[in-house]
Amino acid sequence: CENRCTHCSAYKVAGKSFQTKEIGLVKDEIATALRYSRRNYVQFADNNLSQNPDYASELMDAIRDFNARYLCMASVTQLVENETLVEKMAKAGMETICIGFETLNQANHSGNDKDVSKFEYGVDLLHRHGISVFGTFILGFNNDTPDSVDGILDFCDKTAVDLISISLLTPLPGTMTAHKLKDSGSIKTADYALYDTKHAVISTPHFTQEKLQTELDRALTAAYSPKRVLKRVFSKHGTP
């Protein structure tokens, strides 16, 4: 992924350029995977399959004849700007796309191309093509407030996001976020066993470490309440 999200370690690990594999080799790997898949299901491990729309478009055309089901990760902004790619993804069998919305506050987005104003349309675009949305969100940015959790829940209710993941901002070693939070004294523990994105290890301008943990627990409890789960299950777009 060519985004430079300050909290993300992906480009630190995988490099700063978007790397592609020859499409014939990808087809060979998919064919091999499908021989061992009882569900005829393949997940792309790329951090952002939409990073290079031309390559992704060619890939979707190439794998269409497998009649398989796929899951991938992609940028909602890039998908909105390349609706033809979304159409090809649907025809190829893309069943679910994981979208890293992360935050609904534009001021929290740093080093990436994410445009909050396109989020709602992006979910609708995927749903119109029969693709389910796995939305991921993060709590703990500097501009997050107690209203942020309610904002995420309201957004997911309004857009009928099919699957939801909510995590905590974690200062992964080597990231810009880790350096900034260390300099500000916001990191409250160096116990890396807790750096799993589900334990609060920082404080923010609006949350103590304890309050941030409480907010995550509240968010997950609400997101997976029986009422909301049933609503997603029986949504016309839903995939439980």
Query: Over the stretch 132-165, which tens digit does the pLDDT of each residue have?
Result: 999 999 999 999 998 999 999 999 999 999 999 9
Decide if pLDDT at 225 tops 90: yes
pLDDT recorded at residue 10: 67
Average pLDDT over the chain reads 91
pLDDT tens across 27-39, in order?
A: 999 999 999 888 8
Tokens 């209710």 belong to residue? 157
Decide if pLDDT at 15 tops 60: yes
Reported as a pLDDT band with limits 50, 70 and 90, residue 97 is very high
Q: What is the pTM of this model?
A: 0.91
Least confident of 6-20, 188-202, 225-239: 6-20
Task: Please choose, from the candidates 137, 136, 131, the residue with its C-alpha nearest in 3D space to the C-alpha of residue 70.
Answer: 131
- 131-152 burial, b if ≥16 CB within 10 A, otherwise e? bbbbbbbbbbbbebeeebbeeb
Work out the average pLDDT over 174-189: 93
Tokens of 218: 């509240």
pLDDT recorded at residue 240: 41
